[in-house]
Amino acid sequence: MNNKLYGNLIFEYTHPGRQAYSLPQQEVPHTDLPAAMRREEDAQLPECDELTVVRHYTNHSQNNFGVNNGFYPLGSCTMKYNPIINEEMAALPQFSQLHPMQDTNTCQGALELYYNLQRMLSELSGLREFTLNPFAGAHGELTGLMIIRSYHEKRGDSKRTKVIVPDSAHGTNPASAAVCGLDILEVKSTKDGLVDVDDLKTLLQTEGENIAAMMMTNPNTLGLFEQQIPEIEKIIHECGGLMYYDGANFNPLLGVSRPGDMGFDVMHINLHKTFSTPHGGGGPGSGPVGVRQGLEEFLPTPRIVKKGDRFEVEGLNEGHSVGAFFGNFAVMLRAYAYILTLGKENIKMVGPLATLNANYIKESLKDDFELPIDVVCKHEFVFDGLKDKSTGVTTMDVAKRLLDYGFHAPTIYFPLLFHEALMVEPTENESIDTLDSFINVMHIIAKEARETPDIVKEAPHNTPIGRVDDVLAAKNPILTYTQFANQDGEN
Ligand SMILES: *Cc1c(COP(=O)(O)O)cnc(C)c1O
């Protein structure tokens, strides 16, 4: 352990009486708060000098790994670079000091931005109207399914309580359907990783009239474009269901093709994936939902509308809202800055470059890593572990070893279709030099697995903390400092 203050709590540096700063003598006399408003005992706060505090938190922040530290090819997450200008825009006090209930005369600029972003998402997706209210992709799914449920209810078609979800879907799809009170019917994938249309047809023979919607992710969780969408869309609509598009993987389609043109009725977009904004660890996010013409009335309130030259908030007190209010404005701001920075022409390069980068890595590594579905992918692809299974080195080991070489691990053990899944998504932002050094390191690890497997199995060796016991941490979490002190007795 070096002399950095790794891994400790600020409370461990406390010295009674030590202070980070002291206030000058006040000119006004001292007055005690009323006794009823005071604590009986002083709060237990750390007492440290300023430099200790600064070093402690700076060192902790440097233990974090983000896109600004290095390559972060986390499949399914689109960990793209968040340009600095986005942060500058989001930090402007004219935006960051807004109150959601302030008079609309005083925030026309913010409402205009909100409205313009709704229009831009419509143009990019081919859907008629958007709500920016939901706070995450999963929240967008729930909102979208509630819209679909309202649509069927309004037509008096109340027996439609089932949602079709492919077995390759992100876990949030069935979870959102369940939270919405809908039942889930799973449809299988073919060996090529696409929705099995024959299985779907069989399902519809008995369930057709109970189907509220089919949820599809495109490109799907294996990074593959669902080529049967026209046929699927046709048979679902024929039986009276709606088509829901999980647009979390919208990145490779940006400026190239539009879910609205493919016949989808409702979709969500993850602003925090496709339109930058750093995310992870549960936030921050934004999951706008778009609907085709004819479904606008089911969108949640409040809504931002344009009347003449003015922007208005509609439906603030209607009570129909699904509770999302105005959503995560700072994430919208970043998305808006990002779209304007790229502009109409450059945004068309995002999808093709993300696709090129993913295919470049896939083709460069498939001699050492098992590629179960060997086709051209979109923005991401999935290996099923090392090709040479005799070494005993698992996907987990490879992921840990990557940390030693300064790369964040790809997504592992997801999707669930393969035992040793290792899912890589480089995004369009990376240079060929970064892609090449990642490819090189992956080849080195494959060689180590053959020649000195223990080095890989015991990795990571260069990180502040080695392998953690995930199961112990989940089953016996230690959540308080005092307990921590009791457990290992050193503190
Ligand atoms: C990330 C993701 C989601 C969920 O989005 P959150 O913002 O994490 O709730 C849904 N579907 C797919 C395909 C995703 O990749």
pLDDT-wise least confident of 44-53, 260-269, 376-385: 44-53
- Compute, in angstroms, the gap from residue 246 CA to the centroid of ligand 1: 8
Tokens 């700063």 appear where?
A: 21
Q: Whose CA is nearest to atom 6 of ligand 1?
A: 137
Please, which residues have CB within 8 angstroms of residue 92's CB and are 6 or more apart in sequence?
Answer: none
- Report pLDDT digits (tens) over 196-213: 999 999 999 999 999 999
Distance from CA of residue 178 to its chain's centroid?
Answer: 20
Q: Which of 216, 225, 270 to mutate to test the pocket of ligand 1 (most atoms within 8 A of CB)?
A: 270
Which ligand 1 atom minimizes the distance to the CA of 172?
10
Q: Whose CA is nearest to atom 7 of ligand 1?
A: 137
The residue-averaged pLDDT of 144-172 equals 95
Please, which residues have CB within 8 angstroms of residue 95's CB and are 6 or more apart in sequence?
Answer: 89, 110, 329, 330, 333
Residue 43 has pLDDT above 90, yes or no: no
Residue 1 has pLDDT above 90, yes or no: no
- Compute, in angstroms, the gap from residue 172 CA to the centroid of ligand 1: 7
Cβ neighbours around 8 below 10 Å, total:
13
- 13 closest CA partner among 5, 22, 21: 5
Q: Are 207 and 177 in contact (CB under 8 A)?
A: no
Which ligand 1 atom minimizes the distance to the CA of 270?
7
For every residue of 102-140, which 3-state class applies, written as one string? CCHHHCHHHHHHHHHHHHHHHHHHCCCEEECCCCCHHHH
Residue 18 has pLDDT above 60, yes or no: yes
Q: Terminus-to-terminus CA distance in the chain, angstroms?
A: 17
Q: How far apart, in whole angstroms, are the C-alpha atoms of residue 60 and residue 5? A: 8
Q: Are 398 and 62 in contact (CB under 8 A)?
A: no
Q: Are 284 and 272 in contact (CB under 8 A)?
A: yes
Residue 481 has pLDDT above 70, yes or no: no
Helix (H, G, I), strand (E, B) or coil at 84: helix
The residue-averaged pLDDT of 485-491 equals 43
Q: Which two tokens stand for residue 68?
A: 């600004």
Angle at CA 267, nearest 5°, toward 264 and 273?
135
Q: Whose CA is nearest to atom 8 of ligand 1?
A: 137
The residue-averaged pLDDT of 305-329 equals 82
Pocket residues: Cβ below 6 A from ligand 1: 76, 136-138, 170, 172, 217, 221, 246, 248-249, 270, 285, 287
- 221 closest CA partner among 38, 79, 411, 94: 411
- Compute, in angstroms, the gap from residue 433 CA to the centroid of ligand 1: 29
Can you spell out the DSSP letters for 1-34? Answer: --SS-TT--GGGG--TT--S--PPPPSSPP-PPP
Residue 491 has pLDDT above 50, yes or no: no
- Residue 372, classified by CB atoms within 10 Å of its CB into exposed (0-12), middle (13-18) or buried (19+), is middle
Q: How far apart, in whole angstroms, are the C-alpha atoms of residue 243 and residue 220? A: 15
Residue 50 has pLDDT above 90, yes or no: yes
- Compute, in angstroms, the gap from residue 138 CA to the centroid of ligand 1: 6
- Report pLDDT digits (tens) over 330-374: 999 999 999 999 999 999 999 999 999 999 999 999 999 999 999
Enter the DSSP assignment of 21: -
- Report pLDDT digits (tens) over 278-311: 887 666 899 999 999 999 999 998 999 999 999 9
The residue-averaged pLDDT of 391-409 equals 97
Q: Whose CA is nearest to atom 4 of ligand 1?
A: 137
Name the phi and psi angles at 422, rounded to 5: -140, 110
- Report pLDDT digits (tens) over 416-472: 889 999 999 999 999 999 999 999 999 999 999 999 999 999 999 998 888 888 888
